[in-house]
Amino acid sequence: MQKRPRRYLGPRHYAAEIIDLKTAEERRAALANVPGDFKERVAFYVQDHFDKRRSLRGTAITLIHTATRRY
């Protein structure tokens, strides 16, 4: 079993960090560095995020979200 870093990161923390990356190549490389026992769950969270984002594209929810975003 792999040792976890001193600061505990759960699957959702790894997924959040991966989702923030700009390119698919960066995300694939980061996913390869996730501890083995979390890899499947993190991959699910990342894929789920992009599936939901893709399905909401062009809907009223997306338009409201982008209109209220602070830059």
Q: How confident is the model at residue 17, as a pLDDT?
A: 92
∠33-35-41 over CA atoms, to 5°?
100
Q: How confident is the model at residue 5, as a pLDDT?
A: 55
Q: What is the pLDDT of residues 56-65, one digit of tens each?
A: 776 665 555 5
Domain boundaries, the chain: 11-68
Residue with tokens 């499947």: 40
Q: What is the pLDDT of residues 7-52, one digit of tens each?
A: 667 899 999 999 999 999 999 999 999 988 999 999 999 999 988 8
Q: Is the pLDDT of residue 71 over 50?
A: no
Which burial class, exposed, middle or buried, applies to 70 when counting CB atoms under 10 A from its CB (0-12, 13-18, 19+)?
exposed
pTM, rounded to two decimals: 0.68
